[in-house]
Structure 1
Amino acid sequence: MGNAILSSEQHIVELTGIRGVAVLMVLLWHFIGAVISPSLGSASAWLSSILIFGRTGVDLFFVLSGFLIIGILVDKREKESYFATFYLRRAARILPPYLILLLFFWGFTLCLPANTYFNADISPVTYLLFLQNWYMSFHNEWGPSASSVTWSVAIEEQFYLVFPVVVYLTPVSRLRIILWATGAISAAARAYFHLKYPDNHFAPYVNTLLRLDELCLGGLIAMAFRREQSLAWLNKRRPLITLVLTLCVGAIPFFLVLYSKQPADTMYYWGHLYLGLLYGTAIIVILLNRDHGRLRVLHCAPLRFFGTISYSVYLFHPMVIGLFFIAMRRGERLQTLEDLSLLTAAFVCTIVLCWISYNFVEKPILNWARQFSYGPYQKRAIA
């Protein structure tokens, strides 16, 4: 229940459902909102302006990732095999689908004429080092569309590489201060960068240093649910936290209106902060009320299914969309029933491929990695 201290050993079904919500938001945008043709009339423009909120599924993923990773690191920081086991398990989770994606991407890039989806604008070494988001920052472009979504994976991987050291070297009492400070500085730097370089719309969106606030927020939530005093404070203020969440949800239409008029200013000055508050309070409310009947929707099979395969679905769906449109020699748009059939086929193909990937590649590797224990506790000077 919500008054119990959390541990990284627990499986919280509701968070799997939330991951399903996040990836479905992204899919709604990429399969419908981003491609629907304006020629269909005002209804299509209205639908696109609503579904663009699906892009913020990435913000939700960032808060969830910060919650998961900082939670694991805080729980295991005193263990003997802290670094080795953490990095091995993260590699087992991140690398298999990612390397498969790159293998297919480079294969199609070599076999097909250069196009929007497959080209060599970003070098293989850049992808292998998870530095593509820095390329996008400096060049103010996505690079090839089939691999463009990997910018967020690069940010998370860089976070995973650095923060185990930060958590290990920092007393828990000071770690909260570091997370608060890092998140605040990152958000301020994002706003300043946009003010200083308004023509670069990519760096404030994809640069690691400018997107740490939501990851740090997730980490702060994880720490709060591991400390009795903080958890008691949250429990006493459930009505207030629920009110904040309600107000944030109610503000979504206003956010969308402002975003439609000034997307860059909206997102980089305050939008990501608003989304962090929205998704952060949503996670807090869910954790405080887990196992409550009102949250049973997050236990439903479809959300748990999409939550389980969310990582590979997120990675592979742009490539599959691109391949279907290339094969049919059509531009990427949703205008006719034929386009709808094409996108439906691409969606089904994505889900089937990712189900196969999870069950026959990812899951066996994850089970193998779980054999490696963090080991016993060790005595250290830093507490």
Structure 2
Amino acid sequence: MSNMRDRQLDGLRTIAVAMVLYAHFFAADGSIWGHLGVRLFFVLSGFLITRLLLEARADARYQPATALKAFYIRRALRIFPPYFAVLALVWLVNLEGVRGTGSLKWHALYLANYWYALRGEWTPWVLCHTWSLSIEEQFYIVWPLAILLTPRRMIGGICLAVIACSLAYRLCWPLTGTPSLVRDLLPSGSMDALACGALLATYRERTQAWPQWMRLSWMPLVAAASVALWLRPDPITPALDWFIWIGSEVFPLVPLVMLVGAASLGFRSAFGQLLESAPMAATGRISYGIYLFHPIILSLIVRAQAWIPVNVSQQGFGRLIIGSAATLAVAAISWRLFEKPLNGFKRHFPYVARDNLPVAAAGEPWEPRRGAKIYETTLSRRDTHDPGEAVQASDLQ
């Protein structure tokens, strides 16, 4: 995959995090748009993580223990340092009274989604965005085992089974309870997006062509999802709320998958040039930090309202401009001085051992096992390339 196409995936991360910032800094009722941005992150993560694991598995030097060890260590190097730095800062400053909530141990264990679901409220709100990070971490614990240890022919079926179970959870919700945070924050409410991205990665091993039903359905699904996203009647019945939830969560899945799939091949259009542009690529590289820091920044700028000439205490342009600029600055500094140096240690943990090539008998050329590939231009290059210059699946959040 070329660097330019990797940059387009970075550009998609910029779009996803921009939707979150718009929702939390500007929109009067931003939960839907922010959640859609998170859904795009989920599809991206499922696709890129699965693609990387499949490439490792296809390498002639592949060993399950080596690949699993590399995956978990590389994920820890990318995710843990800024995440736990934020938790430490929030605890030290006692931002928004977080110490009194007793939630930090849940966040530290990546169980924030269960914390908020069990309580039915977004308290403490300054860490409420970590629900999605918890779901991704729960996904990362289990998914490499499925991809690296199960028979290759079963991986596509596993993806379909996960998607089916998640959709069944959504369709059966009216029989199980009234709308609540539990509905959205349990892993079953998000695994469909992650598994759709993973299914895309397995499908792309065989062909780049889209199935006919996807090519015919994506535009009607975009239209239906748009109606659901904008439909907010008052009062709203439980049945209508469920329909809107299905429309805004499930209908966008196929368009989001096709968006990620097309960007992975490279849009040959003005949109592709936009995604590849330097500002979009640079913002995408630090999107994890942007997502992680933005509620902290929001809390701090609201406290500093007396020294800020525009209104940041309420949703609107002032909050969007000041909050976004401050978040970008903090995320860029964090990436350059903190995250990127630690990220460089990932080169010591390749998915396939570089010095583990099979040794042929004297005088005989070595041949890889049937169907195996040596990914010198993908896995090896990712391990040695500057981690700040291109998308790496293990960097995604």
Q: TM-score range by the shorter chain?
A: 0.7 to 0.9
Corresponding residue for residue 71 of structure 1: 51
Q: How has the CA–CA distance of structure 1 residues 142 and 267 changed in structure 2, closer, same or farther, with 3 Å as cutoff?
A: farther
Q: How has the CA–CA distance of structure 1 residues 293 and 342 changed in structure 2, closer, same or farther, with 3 Å as cutoff?
A: closer
Letter in 2 for 1:251: A
Corresponding residue for residue 43 of structure 1: none
Q: How has the CA–CA distance of structure 1 residues 29 and 294 changed in structure 2, closer, same or farther, with 3 Å as cutoff?
A: closer
Is 2:247 the partner of 1:247?
A: no
Is 2:9 the partner of 1:29?
A: no
Q: How has the CA–CA distance of structure 1 residues 32 and 342 changed in structure 2, closer, same or farther, with 3 Å as cutoff?
A: closer
Corresponding residue for residue 86 of structure 2: 101
Is contact 1:23-1:306 (8 Å) kept? Answer: no
Deviations 1:72-123 (A, max 9, x none): 22222362311111111111111111111111111121xx673xxx453243
Corresponding residue for residue 3 of structure 1: none
Corresponding residue for residue 194 of structure 2: 215
Letter in 2 for 1:318: P
Q: Quote the Cα distance in structure 2 between the aligned partners of 1:377 and 1:187.
A: 43
Is 2:11 the partner of 1:17?
A: yes
Q: How has the CA–CA distance of structure 1 residues 153 and 294 changed in structure 2, closer, same or farther, with 3 Å as cutoff?
A: closer
Shift in Å, 1:369: 1.3
Q: How has the CA–CA distance of structure 1 residues 291 and 92 changed in structure 2, closer, same or farther, with 3 Å as cutoff?
A: farther
Deviations 1:309-363 (A, max 9, x none): 111101110111112213338994237xxxx545533322211110000111111
Shift in Å, 1:260: 5.1
Query: Which one of the candidate residues 287, 299, 303 is aligned to 1:326?
Result: 303
Q: Residues 336-347 of structure 1: matches in 2 within 5 Å?
A: 340-341=317-318, 344-347=321-324
Q: Residues 268-283 of structure 1: matches in 2 within 5 Å?
A: 268-283=245-260
Letter in 2 for 1:216: A
Letter in 2 for 1:71: R
Q: How has the CA–CA distance of structure 1 residues 294 and 125 changed in structure 2, closer, same or farther, with 3 Å as cutoff?
A: closer
What is the identity percentage for the equivalent residue pairs of Structure 1 and Structure 2? 31
Q: How has the CA–CA distance of structure 1 residues 24 and 113 changed in structure 2, closer, same or farther, with 3 Å as cutoff?
A: closer
Contiguous gaps of at least 5 residues in structure 2: 359-367, 373-397
Is contact 2:222-2:252 (8 Å) kept? Answer: no
Residue range with higher mean Cα deviation, 251-260 or 140-149: 251-260
Contiguous gaps of at least 5 residues in structure 1: 1-5, 35-47
Is contact 1:204-1:211 (8 Å) kept? Answer: no
Q: Quote the Cα distance in structure 2 between the aligned partners of 1:297 and 1:158.
A: 33
Deviations 1:111-145 (A, max 9, x none): x673xxx4532432211110111111221122211
Q: Residues 145-294 of structure 1: matches in 2 within 5 Å?
A: 145-199=125-179, 201-227=180-206, 230-231=207-208, 233-234=209-210, 241-259=214-232, 262=236, 264-292=241-269, 294=271
Q: Quote the Cα distance in structure 1 between the aligned partners of 2:203 and 2:335.
A: 32
Shift in Å, 1:367: 1.3
Letter in 1 for 2:227: F
TM score, norm. by length of structure 1: 0.81
Shift in Å, 1:252: 4.3
Q: Quote the Cα distance in structure 1 between the aligned partners of 2:233 and 2:341.
A: 44
Deviations 1:152-204 (A, max 9, x none): 000000100111111222112111101101111022113323541114x2112
Is contact 1:204-1:268 (8 Å) kept? Answer: no
Is 2:323 the partner of 1:373?
A: no
Q: Quote the Cα distance in structure 1 between the aligned partners of 2:138 and 2:68.
A: 15
CA RMSD, aligned part only?
Answer: 2.9
Q: Quote the Cα distance in structure 1 between the aligned partners of 2:198 and 2:166.
A: 15
Aligned residues: 345
Is 2:112 the partner of 1:132?
A: yes
Letter in 2 for 1:223: T
Q: Quote the Cα distance in structure 2 between the aligned partners of 1:175 and 1:323.
A: 45
Shift in Å, 1:242: 4.9
Corresponding residue for residue 332 of structure 2: 355
Give the match's secondary structure for 2:205. coil
Q: Quote the Cα distance in structure 1 between the aligned partners of 2:282 and 2:68.
A: 31
Letter in 2 for 1:107: L
Query: Which one of the candidate residues 132, 136, 143 is aligned to 2:123?
Result: 143
Q: Quote the Cα distance in structure 1 between the aligned partners of 2:78 and 2:214.
A: 33
Shift in Å, 1:290: 3.8
Q: Quote the Cα distance in structure 2 between the aligned partners of 1:161 and 1:84.
A: 12
TM score, norm. by length of structure 2: 0.78
Is contact 1:320-1:350 (8 Å) kept? Answer: yes
Q: Quote the Cα distance in structure 2 between the aligned partners of 1:268 and 1:204.
A: 10
Q: Quote the Cα distance in structure 1 between the aligned partners of 2:153 and 2:122.
A: 39
